[in-house]
Amino acid sequence: MTDTLTITRPDDWHLHVRDGAALEAVVPHSARQFGRALIMPNLRPPVTTAAQAMAYRDRIRAAVPAGTAFEPVMSLYLTDKLPPEEIALAAEAGVRALKLYPAGATTNSDAGVTDIRKTYKTLEAMQKHGLLLLVHGEVTDPAIDLFDREAVFVDRVMIPLRRDFPELKVVFEHLTTKEGAHYVRDAGRFTAATITAHHLLYNRNAIFTGGIRPHYYCLPVLKRETHRVALVEAATSGSDRFFLGTDSAPHPAHLKEHALGCAGCYTALTAIELYAEAFDSVNALDKLEGFASFHGPDFYSLPRHTDTITLKRESWTVPETVPYGDATLKPLRGGETVNWKLL
């Protein structure tokens, strides 16, 4: 049994850090573990221009603790009307991707895409300039059951998208289903996916055990056990199509526990430890480095890190709350134990 594990420093390819005092509270949690993070652009208002992305990047950099090497990788928020001309400016500024939120699919997605065909001119520019498309893979058709929206998205959106833009790099974000995992597994080399720690560790029972547990409520929602197993199989397969993306999404505790609780799990505090636990559960710790440290930068055509982190098999108790500006934040598994610890 392995009691310590040293791996190349990992990256987080799907992270929400909000803004202002909230940003200042959460960025250090990610920076202590990861060398880079792909920053989601769903602020209010959303980040839709290269200039806005660079200003946001600077605010994130300012929140990184002194002496810590952590680089935010920036994205723009794709809208029906985002002009193709903005893509050249974004590429020149160092923006790496655009995020497709189907309108109304999740937190701060009201300005999202109503019909992907309206964005085709922008997607053509992205393919030309080498920017990636990151998709929140759920349809928002009210006739489709909440638990089926990812599988339907594959048929309605992903398959036509791949046909029309065969060389556009696409990341299917926060996979939650067997159908999604198998689609990415069998797709061409221009398609990849991120998988969260909470979707590897939990199924939908976690939301309802002992009552409504709002801190396990996220979108896409946790699915049944057969889907969790398929995600674990994908993440631990060694396939370079799958890599780490926490989708850590902070919300003040009082809004998570509100009558209309916000969607999002805050996992940044213990992210790499949770992933280690998930991989360890199926005796696949030898596959963690590829998933966490290699596959993501390779797909984004960025260099792998040269430094390392070390994890120790040690049970410790996650804080029940952490400061979050003027509020408090409750991390996933707060007050409970995690079986691996970052040294």
What are the pLDDT digits (tens) for 186-241?
999 999 999 999 999 999 999 999 999 999 999 999 999 999 999 999 999 999 99
Say what percent of the chain tops pLDDT 70: 98
Instruction: Enumerate residues 6+ apart whose C-beta is below 8 A from 236.
Output: 279, 282, 284, 287, 291
CA distance 78 to 113: 7
Yes or no: say if 166 and 174 are a contact pair by the CB < 8 Å rule: no
Q: Residue 12: helix, strand or coil by DSSP?
A: strand
pLDDT at 110: 66
Predicted confidence at residue 28, as pLDDT, reads 98
Q: What is the pLDDT of residues 35-74, one digit of tens each?
A: 999 999 999 999 999 999 999 999 999 999 999 999 999 9
- Termini Cα distance of the chain: 18
Q: DSSP labels for 16-47?
A: ---SHHHHHHHHHHHHTT-SEEEE----SS--
Q: Give the Cα separation of 72 and 13 in Å (integer).
A: 10
**What whole-number distance in Å separates Cα of residue 170 and Cα of residue 11?**
18
Token duo for residue 173:
């974000």
Name the active-site residue from 58, 80, 186, 247. 247
* pTM assigned to the model: 0.97
Beta-carbon contacts of residue 3 (< 8 Å; ≥ 6 apart):
312, 313
CATH of domain 10-304: 3.20.20.140
Clarify whether 247 is annotated catalytic: yes
Mean pLDDT for the chain overall: 96
Please state, in angstroms and rounded to a whole number, the distance separating the CA atoms of residues 75 and 54: 10
pLDDT at 108: 64
pLDDT average, residue stretch 277-287: 98
Sheet of 4-8: strand order equals 4-8, 308-317, 337-342
pLDDT digits (tens, 9 = 90+) for 92-125: 999 999 999 998 766 666 688 999 999 999 999 9
Single-letter code of the amino acid located at 28: P
